[in-house]
Amino acid sequence: MTNRIIKVNELLKQEIGQLLLRRGDVPEGALATITRVEATPNLQEARVYMSVMPEEKTKEVFSALRLNVYDIQQDLNHRLKMRPVPRIKWIGEKQTAKAQRIEEIMDHIKGKEEEKK
């Protein structure tokens, strides 16, 4: 990955995060976090990886983001002084869900050990 792509990824992560906060596109009661952004080498597309808490709200959050992707893209196009501005593609982060599940299992085991004492 080139230095330029790394900088573009960080810029997109920061700008999209600020846009989502300002616009309020994430439904109430959900916490959405952009974990990483991966732009293609030709800057035509950017995959925005997100984790959502609680996990039950994931479908609701992604449907709201997909519904508003055109408006978010337009805001991003106006804010960034680069051309082309990559098209946004939302992707759910699976690693975060796995980590959350492991943490739940460990808490369950810890609770059982405390009951034995």
Distance, in Å, from the CA atom of 69 to the CA atom of 75, rounded to the nearest integer, reads 10
The confidence score (pLDDT) of residue 46 equals 96
**Confidence (pTM):** 0.77
What is the number of other CB atoms lying within 10 angstroms of the CB of residue 49? 19
Query: Where along the chain do its domains lie?
Result: 3-116
CATH 2.60.40.10 is right for the domain spanning 3-116 = no
What does each C-alpha distance from 17 to 9, 12, 35, 108 come to in angstroms? 12, 8, 10, 33
Q: What is the pLDDT along the chain (117 residues), one digit of tens a residue?
A: 799 999 999 999 999 999 998 988 888 888 889 999 999 999 999 999 999 888 888 899 999 999 999 999 999 999 998 888 999 999 988 766 667 677 788 888 887 777 776
